[in-house]
Amino acid sequence: MFLCVSPNPAIDKRLTIPTLLAGEIHRARSVHSFPGGKATHVAMVLRTLGETPHWIGPCGGASGEELIAGLRALGIEPHISEVKGKTRTNLELIDDAGKVTEILEPGPELSADELDRFERACRKLFEKYQKSAFVLFSGSLPAGAPADLYARLIDAAKQEGCKTFLDAGGEALLGGIEAGPDFVKPNAKEAAAALNMQIDSVRSAATAIETLCELGARSAAISLGKDGLVYRDGAGRSVLWAAAVELKAKSTVGAGDSALAGFAKGIASGLSAEETLRQAVACAAANCIAESPGAARLTDIEKFRKQVKVQTVGAKR
């Protein structure tokens, strides 16, 4: 059972426009809305990989209802924690040159009561599914949430025997790692900021991964955008790197989320570290050519999986 935890969910709106010019009026050529937020992208890709993922997040207002209906239509099982504020909308503007601009709303501020209810609803699911659950925590924390929210939830999930996965940046990443998640996947920028080091090569990403593991993560990956994905599994024998698939990306938004789904499914299925990394890169690549974030197609994933080459970066220190 996969449970995708979305503390700050969203509706994703993709607009296509001729050219983005600051201070000008733009008329969109096309507008599409989809269920969004990082955990939703993860759940969508897990669904495509043949799972029936569960999803939990605070939802409010008409946009919250749209999100819930959208999740159900995708075959994702939503567990809702109702809040007064409206679920946010994240804008993705794609211009004719293929340039992607994102505008992310902060999302509603949650009251202490709402946060408490969300946390209790998560704990109830951890208790229900115990060691059969793979719990994936993704994205930013809502305004009003304590910085240690992920740490508390990871701790609670681990106490019930669940496996825990974390994809976040900043305080949420550092705090969460201290709780000892089974796997973390920041991107290079997030990892560099959290560890206060430069990550500009596969080698420096491998060093950063070792630091993430020393800080508490059992295994870790760092995504380097078009420069690929670096991974060390739980056995920690060696660090692996796979180059990204060469393609013309429509948008890379959600590529990291899709990679996380590939990792989680690979780890849950007992695939080897090499196969797990191959699957993560293939899911990420399929996301880059998809109609919307998280909408990777299985045929693309299978096609790309065959193209991914995995190399060893170096033995563990």
Ligand X SMILES: Nc1ncnc2c1ncn2[C@@H]1O[C@H](COP(=O)(O)OP(=O)(O)OP(=O)(O)O)[C@@H](O)[C@H]1O
Q: Is 204 in the site for ligand X (CB under 6 A)?
A: no
Q: How far is the CB of 205 from ligand X (least distance, A)?
A: 10
- Complex with Mg ion: residue 64 or 142, whichever CB lies closer: 142
CB atoms within 10 A of CB 12: 25
Q: Which entry of ligand X, Mg ion, none binds 219, CB below 5 to 8 A by partner kind?
A: none
- For residues 175 and 254, which CB has a smaller minimum distance to ligand X in the complex? 254
Q: Per CB under 6 A, which region of 15-23, 66-74, 115-123, 281-289 contacts ligand X? A: 281-289
The interface partner of residue 119, options being ligand X, Mg ion, none and the CB cut-off 5 to 8 Å by kind, is: none
Segment interacting with ligand X (CB under 6 A) among 113-121, 200-208, 241-249, 266-274:
241-249
Q: Residue 170 to residues 57, 157, 195, 302: CA-CA distances in angstroms?
A: 20, 21, 9, 33
Name the residue nearer to ligand X (CB basis): 48 or 81.
48
Q: Is 128 in the site for ligand X (CB under 6 A)?
A: no
Q: Which amino acid, 22?
A: A
Q: Does 253 bind ligand X (CB under 6 A)?
A: yes
3 binds, among ligand X, Mg ion, none (CB under 5 to 8 A by kind): none
For the CB of residue 285, give the shortest distance to ligand X in the complex, in Å: 5
Q: Please, which residue, 36 or 60, has the CB nearer to Mg ion? A: 36
CB-based contacts of 39: which residues, under 8 Å, 6+ apart?
4, 5, 6, 9, 55, 57, 136, 137, 138, 139, 257
Give the tokens for residue 26.
């733009």
Contact between 199 and 191 (Cβ < 8 Å): yes
When asked if residue 256 is in the footprint of Mg ion (CB under 5 A), the reply is yes
**The entry of Mg ion, ligand X, none that residue 247 binds, CB within 5 to 8 Å by partner kind:** ligand X
The site string for ligand X over 172-191 (x = CB under 6 A, - otherwise) reads: ---------------x----
**Interface characters, 205-224, with ligand X (x: CB under 6 A):** ------------------xx
Instruction: Say whether residue 29 binds ligand X (CB under 6 A).
Output: no
Stretch that binds ligand X, among 88-96, 212-220, 233-241, 280-288 (CB under 6 A): 280-288
Give me the least distance between CB of 230 and ligand X, in Å please: 8
Residues in binding contact with ligand X, number by CB under 6 A: 22
Bridge partner residues of 185 (DSSP): none
Q: Does 229 sit near ligand X (CB under 6 A)?
A: yes
End-to-end CA distance of the chain: 35
Task: Out of 83, 284, 286, 310, point to the residue binding ligand X (CB under 6 A).
Answer: 284
Q: Cα separation of 53 and 148, whole Å?
A: 25
Residue 240 in contact with ligand X, rule: CB under 6 A? no
Query: Which stretches of the chain bind Mg ion, using CB under 5 A?
Result: 187, 256
Query: Which stretches of the chain bind ligand X, using CB under 6 A?
Result: 187, 223-226, 228-229, 244-245, 247, 249, 252-257, 259, 281, 284-285, 288
